[in-house]
Chain A
């Protein structure tokens, strides 16, 4: 079973920031938080990941709470092309057995 909890759907206005929450209250110390998205049944696309510090790349920012039990993915200026299902995943790097376990994700709809 997925170790994360996400709202099933969210809406955002084009040009505004989209903040997608994720709860991972049972995360362990060696587990990373990953975010992927899936646009219209294409293959999932990696967005960002982090361990305990906040991370930023050209696509998004990841804010992880100090206790690491939740995180937020931020798309700073959402566009219509950001409409997708966003998956929050926790995964550990242990002995080469890393596996990504997907939940149902959050369906983000960016409205004009």
Chain B
């Protein structure tokens, strides 16, 4: 199985700050990676697919990069509504697996 390791597990930042979350796969997965945002008490929401493609309707302050085994999600200017847990997910092979999540808090 492909293991997905996210870091950090939590981050606290101020409104307007740049926030970066990393995700590392235990083996190469090409661009078969998605990022999700889960706000408290809600279902997850797809933010990024194919490693770098922004899902329709997602604000442009969200961006992502990477391929192979190392990936990054960036929030360029943190907003209060970005309070959430963010998950990466590999779509390369079954079983599909998620990272452990990164909790983003607002200072």
Asked if chains A and B come from one complex, the reply is: no
